[in-house]
A and B are shown apart, each in its own frame.
Chain A
Amino acid sequence: MTLWIWVLVAAGAAYLTKLLGYLVPARVLSNPRMSRVAGTLTIGLLASLTVVNAAASGTAVVLDARVGALVAAALALWLKAPFLVVVIVGALAAAGLRLLGWP
């Protein structure tokens, strides 16, 4: 039930962020520092989310089949595979490694 609340709060925050952009006067928006922070924040968050999903298990750093998925996905991206293919390659790598006995 609490998760529902955070789903709705996140949705509200997302919409307000978007709307705020439409409502603030133009000169405030053209602040280059704001768009710079938005840019670095996006990169930092995505890098962090990748690492957490690949190697964190609760409060422990573990190396399991997900690391294989990370490597396989990187290879697919390097070969310029489209997003959906990259996701499927990641799934196949993790599932395959588990079949071979990796945790």
Chain B
Amino acid sequence: MTLRESPAARIGASIAIATGLYGVSFGALSVASGLNFWQTIALSLLLFSGGSQFAFIGVIAGGGTGVAAMSASALLGIRNGVYGMQLNALLRPTGWRRFAAAHVTIDESTATATGQIDPSEQKRGFWVAGLGIYLLWNAFTAAGAFLGDALGDPRQWGLDGAAVAAFLGLLWPRIRAVQPAAIAAVCAVVTLLAVPLVAPGVPILVAAVVAGLIGWFRHGATPAHAPGHVGDGLEPDIEPYRHEGGTPRPARPGPESAGRDRVGSDLPGQARPGQDALGQDALRDGEAP
């Protein structure tokens, strides 16, 4: 099968286009939060994980230190390590490919790969989504950073409000069940209580410790769909493997792909029986189990 005929490659390409565009908002918000143009570019090129990038600039925007920004970003990236284990088992990349695969391991490329059944389709989906998002996310980050630099006072344009909306948008798809919503609420309250007491940036780390402890000690308290329930800041509009009533069904195609008859009909969107949460879960809008 060629790449053009591959359903997984088509899904990957759709996701790359849909998510790459969000690089605009990252670029603009990053320069508004006090990073310069090249630091913004460096985050997208070298760090390349939307959630972690937003976390970094969010702490800086709040007056936090570089250490706090780095810590929040690193903690938010932990799930990428979990993805790495799963993808390694799935794709078995060797040599230099393993190092390249690690760099483009994010929510979207993982979801695209794990939603496929056929091993070669898993590979195609992973690489097309991963490399496609990498190219577009970086191109649009540069565009956003350039525009943001030219805009002047970010508050006048509501860019600080845009940052708030972006974080809520990243959180939203994860709080569709009671337990994750409770964790989010507890951490929000902890943050509010900590803000007047500690240095800027530290309240986020306090909340992270609380969240980590909840996950460590409360068996079954996890969102069963985390961390596969994605949202990485590179979040797609489309849900390639959306479930309904527990039955996986093919994707609602993105706006740029032509209808589901083209993409969806021959799409192996069914997860294997017994596949873990990551593979079973929808990208977004997935019903809580």
- A residues near B, CB below 8 A? 2-11, 13-15, 17-24, 26, 28-30, 33-56, 58-61, 65-66, 68-70, 72-74, 76-77, 80, 82-84, 86-96, 98
Contact = CB atoms under 8 A, between A and B. Distances in A.
Name which of A38, A76, A96 has the most chain B CB atoms within 10 A of its CB.
Answer: A38
B55 A13 contact: no
Given A49-B167, A56-B62, A90 B161 contact: yes
Given A35-B82, A45-B211, A66 B73 contact: no
Interface residues of B, number: 111
B211 A60 contact: no
Contact of A44 (B24, B164, B214): B214
6 contacts: A17-B74, A40-B221, A74-B168, A91-B158, A94-B158, A94-B159
Contacts of B101: 22
A73 B47 contact: no
Given A8-B42, A21-B83, A43-B223, A66 B103 contact: no
B190 interface: yes
Contacts of A92: 158, 161
Nearest to A62: B195
Contacts of A50: 164, 167-168, 171, 188
A61 B192 contact: yes
A54 B197 CA distance: 17
Contacts of A59: 195-200
B222 to A, nearest CB: 4
A8 B69 CA distance: 12
A26 to B, nearest CB: 6
A68 to B, nearest CB: 7
A45 B55 contact: yes
A36 B222 CA distance: 6
A10 B56 contact: yes
A93 B153 CA distance: 16
B160 A53 contact: yes
Nearest to B38: A4
A83 B237 contact: yes
B178 to A, nearest CB: 12
Contacts of B275: none
